[in-house]
Amino acid sequence: MAATARTRLQQAAVDLFGERGFDSTTAAEIAARAGVTERTFFRHFADKREVLFDGQAVLLEALLTGIETGARDAPPLDILFHAFRSVCPLLEANRPFSEPRQAVISATPSLQERELAKMAALAEALAQALRTRGIPEDRARLAARIGMAVLADVTLAWLSETGPSLRDRLDRAEQDLKALI
């Protein structure tokens, strides 16, 4: 075993936030439960919120390869939806971790702020990937933002209600999107 300090800190944080709430949990308490010092906590995570946002990198990588494997000259939104579908298994696998995490975030305004920021960064990376596939700058950014909005909407609904699978929800959202225009 001997989980790394970083991992123990993440686990301790999720547990404590779930028990007492984010605001009523101090960084020192998290560190104590993980068996380290408060100072060590802040060496691993830039701030108290960041301890909950560490999976983004993996998701980003998966999305980028999903974009690369899309049809060569499809419209940008089709490329994005193809990428989204390609990461469904990853997201489904992470659900046991994502669900409690999302519960804490949904209950804490300052964490929602951070999540929005992370998604904006993700959208920016997606736009960059679209650009390298020949989509003009403005259109790439617009498509990326729309795509992220849809993905966020869909995954939030998927995590908070029981019902259709992530993939089915994505298909339906794509229909809705096309009907919008």
Partner DNA sequence: GTCCCCCTTGTCAGTGACTGACATTGGGAT
Partner DNA sequence: ATCCCAATGTCAGTCACTGACAAGGGGGAC
Give the interface with a second copy as residue ranges (CB under 8 A).
75-77, 109, 112-114, 116-117, 120, 138-139, 141-143, 145-146, 149-150, 153, 173, 176-181
Q: Map residues 1-40 to x or -, x wherever contact with DNA holds by CB under 7 A.
A: ---xxx------------------xxxx--x---xxxxxx
Q: How many angstroms separate the Cα of 73 from the Cα of each of 4, 76, 105, 165?
A: 45, 9, 38, 29
Please name the residues in contact with 83: beta carbons below 8 A apart, sequence gap of 6 or more.
Answer: 63, 64, 66, 67, 70, 126
Least Cα distance to 122 among 96, 90, 147, 97 occurs for 147
CA distance 83 to 55: 17
169 binds DNA, rule: CB under 7 A: no
Report in angstroms how near the CB of residue 6 gets to DNA at its nearest: 7
Q: Is 105 in the site for DNA (CB under 7 A)?
A: no
Minimum Å gap between C-beta 16 and DNA is 10
Footprint of DNA on this chain (CB under 7 A)?
Answer: 4-6, 25-28, 31, 35-40, 42-44, 46-49
